[in-house]
A and B are shown apart, each in its own frame.
Chain A
Amino acid sequence: MDNINLGSIEKIPLGQGHCFIVENEEIAVFRPRAGGLYAVQNRCPHRNGPLAEGVIDACHVICPYHGHKFDLQTGRGAEKGETVKIYEVKEESGEIILKL
């Protein structure tokens, strides 16, 4: 496991997500208003929608394309058989640290 510093937490507007391309992987990192940081694969398994552009709450993201919903903690989708890959991510003194 390698720690990657993605830069300042301020890169992600509060309550939104932002897409980082790391080692050819598109990773959506979310910063819920309720606190914490979450990272999942950016592409929705349904039709490739960019999850980073989705609306979130404390622990879910809704894909902007067709409204498919995913749990940010587990990656589990609300639709049968759909999951997204999750990544470990945390905030350290104002920086976003992703484990890859």
Chain B
Amino acid sequence: MTRQRLVVIGNGMAGARVVEEILKRAPDLFEIIMFGAEPYGNYNRILLSDVLNGKEKPTDIFINPLSWYKENNITLHAGLRVLKIDRTNKVVVAMPVSRGAKPYDRNSTALPDDSQVSEPYDKVILATGSRPFIPLIEGWGAPGTFAFRTLDDCAQIEEYAKNCKRTAVIGGGLLGLEAARGLLTHGVQVTVIEAGPYLMNAQLDPEGGRLLKSTIEAMGIQVLCNTITTKIGAENNRITQLLFKDESTLETDMVVVSAGIRPMTEVAEDSNLAINKGILCNDQMRTSDHNIFAVGECVEHRGQLYGLVDPIWEQARVLADQITGVNPKSQYTGSKLATKLKVMGVELVSMGETEAKNPDDEIVVYREPKRGIYQKLIIRKNRLAGGILLGDTQAGNVLMQMFREETSLPKKRTELLFGGSNLPSLANAADLPDHAQICNCHGVSKTQIRDAIILQGCTSLNQVGQCTKAGKGCGSCKGLIVQLIQAYHGQVGYDPAEHYYVPGISLEKSQLIAAIKAKNLKSVSHVFQELASGVEDAASKVGLASLLRSIWNEEYQDERDARFINDRVHANIQRDGTFSVVPRIYGGVTSADELIRIGTVAKKYNVPMIKITGGQRIDLLGIKKEDLPHIWKDLGIPSGHAYTKAVRTVKSCVGTDFCRYGLGDSIKLAQEIEHKLQGIESPHKIKMAAAGCPRNCSEAYVKDVGVVAIEGGKWEIYVGGASGGTVRKGDLLATVETHEEVLKLVGRFIQYYREHAKYMERTYSFAERIGIDRLKGILIENEMGICKRLDEEIQKSAAAYVDPWKKESEEPLYPQQFEGPELVHVLQEAINNG
């Protein structure tokens, strides 16, 4: 098959990006020819000011060096400017840019002659970008006047500044300030001149603009607002001063204009394509000619021009989907502009509108002038319509996401700026140093995660986890990883696999439960047979075993190979291959007899370590697998389930029994809860506590489920607390009066958690995901009418509870259950004989 010829006009960021996107989708579909007016490969124009201030070398900002074009068989015509697209003969015609001419000048080429280049095409992409906007100023063009758009501009400004003392930058927008920042390092005095009343009027409101002005002035840059330049004065071929409309003047040795950009549309215009302010495109990124597409700053889409990378990357994706035919349904419907900038070292997040429009728009403002902080949010119909965060952008990532996704906002508006218990942490991963360790469980640094996102193309938590293991330990760094994906990739990809209950079966939890019940699947191997075409997946077995057990209770058909070693032998494996034994001590209350038995066992089996646990129990550590059943038998105490995803402890304080402050009988209640719910399996471990008063000695506020006695004979029930890698105070689910009510609601919550939590999802993220208001609605108000059923289900599971230590110490489930490694005596003879 002959390849179609694709001609790309423009070798800037948009042009190169769209080619990358096309190659990703269909590497062999097109023969690609690119025209670029600049004599280079493709570079990151956003970093030009870093080149100007010497932070980056020009070579550092290249995105695609010339070798990239070669490797991908792309013909690059660098230094050539396209004149027009001859649509009748389907040929693109170009000419070399004259020596010394600016690539963005209208007449940068000589008259047509032999050096004209023609490339026939099947498809064309216009990515001509924009040129700097130069206001009408008398004397413009003289030596010492510069625009700021290309690498060559940068080099010339740098060179000229060496012989200057004073420079003026015309334009107080983002680009002008970036240019000023670049100049500052060259030891010149810099004045920024803005025609409008305040700086950065596209992103800021007057107050923000004023604050930015004083912050920038404190850095030694002079700022003049409301100042229109009319004339550049020169003597002896050197600039001496600027004259302003109000007849004042400013002495300066050079002028840099950076006052905005205008789309370059003349190729489109000369080719008779429809244009307005920019080249008109539909949602498929096609121009008025079906075979000609456009992308980037030169495009006008639904009346809007875009100059930021995010929307342009999105356009490039849609264009690539369309031109390759990979996804004909793909559409670009416009972008909600939210961006994070650093202006002269000042952080700024800007999104949407900067001023209220309607009388009932709500405005939330926080000011801290001393630290240069100004934050303003515009809220319309409980959605974010716009926002400015100047000087402190901690809340930026979360707010930008809320803005883009039009999320409904928390009632307490302060939470938007300062965080709240139900909002993701505002700690900003993007601002952490590169070497910072993000995943403390697996020791994964920010750099490693960034590489996974940028170089390996990971766009979801799951992919980052597979690539680096980050987030696969305790999981408390997941929020930070999401922030990094947002920072480096833009948005977090949708990975359906993240929602599967286990990786080996493509079903979410509710679907999986439905399928298991419908097909009456009671063992793990049965599930693989019926739902995974008989293909076992090691990583899925343990989760399935836990789920089946909570669905079927005593009807569950146990297959020990599907369970983690801890659940095969009911003990927790330790780093040296021995096990730990934690007998159940209800509510943390033991007796002399029990202690004597524990001591006797410890002596008899030479237990190397006896440790009081954090859960108010006693841990016997360093036990050999072979000894487990004997120890259980000798102890005569039930299993404490300290090894499994199940209800573990219910801690208590001494409550009304002895404490002077006790308001409720926390010991009795803790024991009642533990007796009722002990060992019930769930998606993750459940640790509980009962406190006899709000002093919280048993730490009930930070448990998966905690109950706290308060004055008036009442109990508060908290759910979703945590005090591990993540620390979180539980949410108040209900306040009740009797132990019976506590038992009922705790059981109901646990049953709901068992049915709806993802495997290995602790209650703290479950409670956050569902939301305490919804939990109250479902579990207290009975909005879904399932309370009675939940109560019955948990009752069934409780009734089916059997102490595994008692049962399996009498007779192992299978002969090898408690066997250790087997020493094989190899007879020399046997070896010789084979």
Contact = CB atoms under 8 A, between A and B. Distances in A.
B541 A53 contact: no
B262 interface: no
A46 to B, nearest CB: 11
B539 interface: yes
A5 B472 CA distance: 40
A62 B823 CA distance: 23
A5 B176 CA distance: 81
A84 interface: no
Contacts of A56: 538, 561
B559 A15 contact: yes
B436 interface: no
Interface stretch (B300-308, B658-666, B824-832): B824-832
Contacts of A69: 538-539
A3 B834 contact: yes
A58 to B, nearest CB: 6
A98 B392 CA distance: 66
B291 to A, nearest CB: 46
Given A11-B816, A19-B821, A57 B826 contact: no
Interface string A67-86: 10100000000010000000
B577 A50 contact: yes
Contacts of B539: 62, 69
A44 B339 CA distance: 47
A18 B561 contact: no
A8 B117 CA distance: 80
Contacts of B536: 32-34, 57-58
B820 interface: yes
A2 B561 contact: no
- The size bracket of the interface on A is 35 or more
Interface in B681-727: none
Contact of B821 (A5, A21, A47, A54): A21
B816 A12 contact: yes
Contacts of B831: 2, 4
Nearest to A99: B834
A65 B442 CA distance: 13
Interface string A9-43: 00111111011111100100000111000000010
A27 to B, nearest CB: 9
B99 interface: no
Specify which of B472, B562, B565, B814 lies most central, judged by the most chain A CB atoms within 10 Å of its CB: B565
B821 A20 contact: yes
Contacts of B823: 20-21
A19 B822 contact: yes
B573 A53 contact: yes
A47 B562 CA distance: 23
Specify which of B536, B823, B832 lies most central, judged by the most chain A CB atoms within 10 Å of its CB: B536
Interface string B559-580: 1111111001000010101000
A53 B822 contact: no
Contacts, number: 87
A65 to B, nearest CB: 7
B550 interface: no
A52 interface: yes
Contacts of B257: none
Contact of B575 (A12, A34, A47, A53): A47
Given A19-B822, A61-B538, A33 B573 contact: no
Contacts of A6: 822, 824
B561 A20 contact: no
Nearest to A52: B821
Contacts of A23: 826
A57 B830 CA distance: 32
B830 A20 contact: no
A62 B539 CA distance: 8
B122 interface: no
A20 B820 CA distance: 9
A10 to B, nearest CB: 8
A53 B565 contact: yes
A28 B824 CA distance: 13
Contacts of B824: 4, 6, 20-22
Interface in B790-834: 814, 816, 819-824, 826, 830-832, 834
Contact of B560 (A16, A32, A62): A16
Nearest to A24: B823
A45 interface: no
Contact of A42 (B469, B535, B541, B821): B821
A55 B830 contact: no
B561 A15 contact: yes
Contact of A65 (B525, B575, B834): B575
A5 B535 CA distance: 30
15 contacts: A4-B830, A11-B816, A14-B561, A18-B819, A19-B820, A34-B536, A55-B561, A55-B564, A57-B535, A57-B537, A57-B538, A64-B565, A65-B573, A67-B472, A69-B539
Interface of B: 469, 472, 525, 535-539, 541-542, 559-565, 568, 573, 575, 577, 814, 816, 819-824, 826, 830-832, 834
